[in-house]
Amino acid sequence: MKAMQPKDLPGLFLEGLNSSAVDSVVSLYEVDGKIASDPNDPVSGRESIRSMITDFLGQKPRFVLHNSEVVQSGDIALIRSNWTLTLHDSAGKKQEMNLMPTLVARRQPDGRWLVVIDRPVSNS
């Protein structure tokens, strides 16, 4: 999975997350990328991101991507999108939440775009 334009990233995340393709999702981050679910305690680096994503995907989440927007300046892009996340708790009860993640991505020397910072935020 390669994002040749910043606008490709949300769709690639959707594909990877919904198919539980951990390595594909992790490959969308720079080597020193960060996920800042908690901005005071970000998860840094691909190995830590892999562990976090593996644990999360163990809950069998389903994602729907509603829309996204990109603001690009040279080799840097800010990507905002709207998602719905559906999970089932340990009792099997369905939980649904709206997410509005923000990504900061950077063009790589080979032309691909990778995420530098991922700030997933729930608005529900």
Amino acid identity for residue 38 in this structure: D
DSSP assigned state of 60: -
The answer, yes or no, to whether residue 124 has pLDDT greater than 70, is: no
Please tell me the least confidently modeled range out of 1-5, 14-18, 80-84, 116-120: 1-5
Question: What are the backbone angles phi and psi of residue 39, rounded to the nearest 5°?
Answer: -60, -20
Q: What is the percent of the chain where pLDDT is above 90? A: 84
Question: If you average pLDDT over every residue of the chain, what do you get?
Answer: 94
Measured distance CA(123)–CA(115) in Å, rounded: 22
Amino acid identity for residue 116 in this structure: V
Question: What are the backbone angles phi and psi of residue 92, rounded to the nearest 5°?
Answer: 85, 5
pLDDT for 89 equals 76
Measured distance CA(76)–CA(17) in Å, rounded: 24
CATH topology (fold) of 6-119: Nuclear Transport Factor 2; Chain: A, (3.10.450)
The answer, yes or no, to whether residue 25 has pLDDT greater than 80, is: yes
pLDDT digits (tens, 9 = 90+) for 52-110: 999 999 889 999 999 999 999 999 999 999 999 999 877 878 899 999 999 999 999 99
